[in-house]
Amino acid sequence: MSCAQAAPYTPGSDDQVLAVLPAGARHTSGPNLELTRSRLDIALPLAQFYISRSRATGDLRFLGYAEAMLAPWMKQVPVPSQVLVLHATILQSRHSFDAALAELDRALAQRADDPQAWLTRATVLRVLGRYDEALLSCQKLAVAADPAVTTLCVQGVMGLQGHLQSAYAAIVALPQQALPPEARAWRYSELGEMAERLGDDGSAEHWLREGLQTAPDDFYMRTACADLLLRHGRAAETVGLLTGYESLEPMLLRLAIAQRGINDSVESNAVAQLSDAFNIEQQRGDAVHRREQARFLLDVDPHPREALAAAEQNWQVQREPEDVLVLLRAAQAAQQPQAAAPAIEFLKLRGLEDARLNSYLKGKG
Amino acid sequence: MKRLVALLGLMLCVAAAQAHIASNGFLTAAVNGRDVKGAIELAVRDVELAVGVDVNRDGKVTWGELRASGPQLALYVRQHLALSTQGQDCQVSFEPLQINDRVDGSYAWLPYAAVCPMIINKLNIRYTLMDEIDPSHRGLLTLSAGDVVQTGVLGGTRMLSSFAVDTPSHWATFIEYLEAGIWHIWSGIDHLLFLLSLLLPAVLLRSGGHWQPVTHARPALISILKVVTAFTLAHSITLTLAALDIVRLPSRLTESVIAASIIVAALNNIFPIVTDSRARIAFAFGLLHGFGFASVLSDMGLPQGARVLSLLAFNLGIECGQLAVVLVVMPVVYALREGNCYRRAIMPWGSAAIASLALVWLLQRAFLLPV
C-alpha cells in the first residue's frame, strides 16, 4: 500500500506554501465555537453551509465540520428534528444509508409532515432499491411540498418499477419553470438517466449536457455524462468533460479510463492516487467509493477477483442500476457467474428496465 | 416550503459518490520491549483547524507558519494522543516536525519516541485528535512489533483502543534472549577479561615458586573445566536470583566489585597467592558477575509468560559466548605454553595490562568518574 510509504522532508524555504485553505476551513476561536453550542439558529445554518460546501467541492471534510456543528445538539433530549434531518443528510452522503433512515424516522416521529425528511427518506430508499417504500415517502411529500417536486420524486421511482416509458413522458412533460431552481438539475439528471435506460443515448446526452449548463458543478450529472461517452468509446470528449475535476476520485477514475482508451496507458500518478484513496477508505471502513473501486479494478488496474469483492461489498451498501451493472461485469470478469445471481434476482423482482443491462445480459448469453 | 427549497439542493446529489477523502491522521508505532517509536501525521489543513496556523490570515499555510506553530501542535497532540500499557502512561517525546506529501495534500509529520513503564503486551492508544472539529476524522494506525504488522482505526466514538502486541512465539523469544546473552558476553569485555585472567595460568603448573608448562593437555583441560564450571555455576545462581527479583544489589556496587575481581584475578597471576584452586576465585567472584548480567536483563525485561524460558535462554547464551571464546583462546595459549615468552612476558605483562584496565574501570565505577 503506497500510502504507508512516508518520505518526509524539511521544506527548503519558510515561504513554501503547504496548504491553501478553502473557504470555511479556518481555525475557530473559543467564543465563536461556544456560540454554535448555545444557539441552534447559528449552528443549523453553519451545518447547512458546510454540507453545501461539501456538495459544491466534493470535499468530504466539510461533512465532518457540519457534523461537528450538530454534535452538541445531538446530545439534547429530544434532539431537534432539524438537527436529525441534517444529520441524516450527512450520513446519506457517506453512504451510511441505514443510519440515515433511522435518523429520518426519529425526525418524522417529531414532525410527521416534514417534507425535507420525506424527500431524503425517499432518496435513500431508492438508492437501496426499496422502491415500494420510496414511493410511499414520495407520496407523503404531496402534503407540504411543491406538486412538481412530488411528481419528480414519484415518477423517478415509478421509472425503476417497470413504468419507465410513462415515467419518462411524465417528467419530460413537467415544465422546467414549474420546479424550484434547485430541483431543475434533478429533472435533467433524471431525464438523462431514464433516456439511457430506455436505450436512447442521443436524448440522454442532450439532457445531461443541458443539465450541466444549468448546474456545471453537479457531479452526478458530470460522471453520468462521462460514463455515457465512455460507453461509446468517446474517450477524447470524456477527457475534455472531466479536465479540471481531477481532485475528485470519481472524476479521476473516469479520466483514467478515458486515457486508457486513448493511448492504452494510464498516468501512474492517477493510478497511485486512486488506489491510495480506495485503500485508505477501505482501512477506515467507509463505503463511499466502493462502486468506483470495483470499476477501478475492472477498467484501470485489472484485478478481477478484487473487483468482484468490491462489487459485492458495494451491493451490500447500494442497489442503483449502476450497482447492478458493476456486479454483473465483475462476476463475469472473475469468471464466477453465480456471483451475479443477487443482481439478476433483483432485476427480475423489481422489474427494472435498463437497456445497458439488457444488452449486457444478452451479450453474455 | 421555503426551507425545502433552501435544502433541496442537498438531497439531489445523493446518488453521486464523489468526494475527496475524509480527514485522516496516520499513526505509526513500532513496539520493541518497552519502547514505541513512530510518527503522527496530520494534514496541514487539519492542523490549521486544530491550533490556528495561518497567523497572517492570507488563507495559505506556509512552512514558516507551521514551524512557528510547532510547540502548539506538539501540545495539542500531547493532549489528544496518549499511549499507555496496563493503565500506566508511556513518556512521549517529540522530534522536529517535517512534511510528508500525500494524495490529498501536505501533512505535518511529527516523529515521536515513547518509553513505557513495562514491557508492552497490550498497547492502549487514546486518540481524540480533531474530535471536536471533525468527528469523521480517523487515525489510521500501523502497529508493528518485530515482523508482525497490524493496522487499526482510531478515534470516532471510541476514544480508547487496545492492541495486543503479538507476543512472539516461545521459540522466537528463546532465540532473542539467547542472542542477547551471547552478545552481552562478547561486548561486555570485563567478564571475558576476568575469565581470561583465570585461564591464562591453566596451561602452567606452579612448583617451587616458578611456573612450569604442563606436560600434557589433560591437567590443563581439567583446570579450564573447573574454572569455567565454577564461574558458570556461580553467575547462574545470582543471575537467576536477581532476574526473578529475589535478591537485588545496587549496580554501582556490583559493577565496582566486578572490576575489582578482575584486578584480583590478574594480580594473582603476577604475584601468585592462590595457585591450585582458582576455581574458588571463579566461583566467589562469579556470584558478583551474575548480578552484572542481571542488570542487562532488567533493561530488556523478561516477557510475561516466558520469564523462566527467556532467563534460561539468556544464561545459555552467556555460556555459549563464553565457551566460544575459551575454545578459540585456549588452544593458542596451550600451544604457546612452552616458550619463555609466554611465562615471562605474555602472562605477567598481559595480566598487568588487564589489571590496569580494570583499575580504571574500578575508579570510574566506584567514584562515577567520567570515561
B81 forms beta bridges with B127
CA atoms of A255 and A296, how far apart (whole Å): 11
Q: What is the pLDDT at residue B96? A: 95
Residue B91 burial by Cβ neighbours in a 10 Å radius (0-12, 13-18, 19+)? exposed
How many helices (H) and strands (E) in chain B?
12, 14
Strand partners, B102: B105
What is the crossing angle of helices A249-263 and A268-284, to 10°? 140
Has residue B6 got a pLDDT over 50?
no
- Name which of B262, B240, B242 is nearest B311 in CA terms: B240
Q: Residue B199 has what pLDDT?
A: 84
Q: pLDDT, tens digit, for every residue of B27-56?
A: 999 998 889 999 999 999 999 999 999 999
Tell if the CB–CB gap between B22 and A286 is shorter than 8 Å. Answer: yes
The pLDDT score that the predictor gives to residue B17 is: 31
Contacts with B61 from chain A: Cβ below 8 Å: 17-19, 21
Q: Burial level of B318, CB count in 10 A (0-12/13-18/19+)?
A: buried
DSSP-assigned beta bridge partners for residue B108: B42, B99
Mind listing the pLDDT tens digit for each residue in A62-91?
A: 999 999 999 999 999 999 999 999 999 999
The Cα A240–Cα A238 span in angstroms is 5
pLDDT digits (tens, 9 = 90+) for A218-241: 888 999 999 999 999 999 999 999
Lowest mean pLDDT segment, chosen from A137-141, B69-73, B331-335: B331-335
Cα distance between residue B161 and residue B141, in whole Å: 11
CA distance A21 to A28: 13
Contacts of B39 in chain A (CB under 8 A): 6, 8
CB-nearest to B9 from A63, A182, A223 is: A182
Q: Which of A161, A165, A163, A168 minimizes the C-alpha distance to A132?
A: A161
* Weakly modelled stretches of chain A, pLDDT under 70: 1-6, 30, 264, 266, 359-360, 362-365
Q: Please report which confidence band the pLDDT of residue B18 belongs to, taking 50, 70 and 90 as the band edges.
A: very low
User: Residue B48: CB partners within 8 Å, gap ≥ 6?
Assistant: A19, A21, A25, A26, A27, B54, B61
Angstrom distance (rounded) from CA A68 to CA A72:
8
**CB-CB contact of A298 with A306 (8 Å):** no
Q: Tell me the residue type at B279.
A: A
**Three-state SS at B152:** strand
B334 by Cβ neighbours in 10 Å (0-12 / 13-18 / 19+) ranks as middle
B168/B350: higher pLDDT: B350
What is the reported pLDDT for A24? 79
Cell 513554501: give the residue: A16
Higher pLDDT: B321 or A362? It is B321
The phi, psi pair for B39, rounded to 5°, reads -150, 150
CA dist A83 and A41 (Å) reads 11
**CB-based contact, B39 to chain A, within 8 Å:** yes
Q: How many residues does chain A have?
A: 365
- DSSP line for A294-360: HHIIIIIS--HHHHHHHHHHHHHH---HHHHHHHHHHHHHTT-GGGGHHHHHHHHHHT---HHHHHH
- CB count in 10 Å sphere of residue A319: 22
Contact B135 A55 (CB under 8 A): no
Span B89-123, pLDDT tens digits: 999 999 999 999 887 889 999 999 999 998 888 99
Cα(A120)–Cα(A99) distance, integer angstroms: 13
How far apart CA A31 and CA A40 sit, in angstroms, is: 15
In whole angstroms, how large is the CA radius of gyration of chain B?
Answer: 31
Give me the mean pLDDT over the B61-87 stretch. 95
**CA B181, CA B175: separation in Å to the nearest integer?**
10
CB contact (8 A) between residue A14 and residue B63: yes
Please write the tens of the pLDDT for every residue from B195-232: 888 888 888 877 777 788 888 888 888 888 888 889 88
Q: For chain B, give every domain's residue range.
A: 21-164, 170-367
Cα angle B150-B156-B159, degrees, rounded to a multiple of 5: 75
Inform me whether the C-beta atom of residue A93 falls under 8 Å from chain B C-beta atoms: yes
Burial call B9-43: b when 16+ CB within 10 Å, e when fewer: bbbbbbbbbbbbbbbbbbbbbebebbebbbbbbbb
For residue A211, which amino acid is it? Answer: G
CA distance to partner chain A, nearest, from residue B173 (Å): 28
Rg (CA), chain A: 21
**Residue A66's pLDDT is what?**
95
Q: Cβ contacts (< 8 Å) between B140 and chain A: which residues?
A: 280, 283-284
Q: What is this model's ipTM?
A: 0.85
CB contact A75 to B (< 8 Å): no
**Rounded to a whole number, what is the distance in Å from the CA of B61 to chain A's nearest CA?**
5
Q: Is the pLDDT of residue B12 over 70?
A: no
Chain B: residue nearest A88 by CA?
A: B11
Pairing mode of beta strands B204-207, B210-213:
antiparallel
Q: Residues B209, B259: contact at Cβ < 8 Å? A: no
Residue B216 is which amino acid?
H
Cα dihedral sign, A108-A112-A116-A122: positive
Which residues, other chains included, contact B331 with Cβ-Cβ below 8 Å and sequence gap of 6+?
none
Of A16, A64, A18, A283, the closest CA to residue B108 belongs to: A18
Which amino acid is located at B135 in the chain?
Answer: P
- Cell numbers standing for residue B21: 477523502
CA distance A290 to chain B (A): 9
Question: Taking Cα atoms as reference points, which of A299, A312, A306, A287 lies closest to residue A252?
Answer: A299
Assign A128 to helix, strand or coil: coil
Q: Is A48–B10 a contact, with Cβ atoms under 8 angstroms apart?
A: yes
Would you place residue B272 in the very low, low, confident or very high pLDDT band (cuts 50, 70, 90)?
confident
Picking from B251, B261, B307, the residue whose alpha carbon sits closest to that of residue B286 is B261
pLDDT of the residue at B167: 61
In order of B77, B138, B159, the CA distances from B127 in angstroms are: 9, 9, 5
Interface of B with A in 70-109 (CB under 8 A): 96, 98-106, 109
Task: Choose from B1, B2, B12, B107 for mutation: most chain A CBs within 10 A.
Answer: B12
Is B154's pLDDT higher than 70? Answer: yes
Candidates B1, B2, B7, partner chain A, best to mutate (most A CBs within 10 A): B7
DSSP string, B2-70: HHHHHHHHHHTTTT----B---EEEEEEEEETTEEEEEEEEEHHHHHHHH---TT-SSEEEHHHHHHTH
**Which residues from B are below 8 Å from A93, CB to CB?**
14, 19
The DSSP H or E segment spanning A18 is strand A17-20
- Give the other-Cβ count within 10 Å of B218's Cβ: 9
Query: From the CB of residue A259, how many other CB atoms can be counted at a distance below 10 Å?
Result: 18
In eight-state DSSP terms, residue A264 is S
Chain B 179-208, residues with CB within 8 Å of chain A CB atoms: none
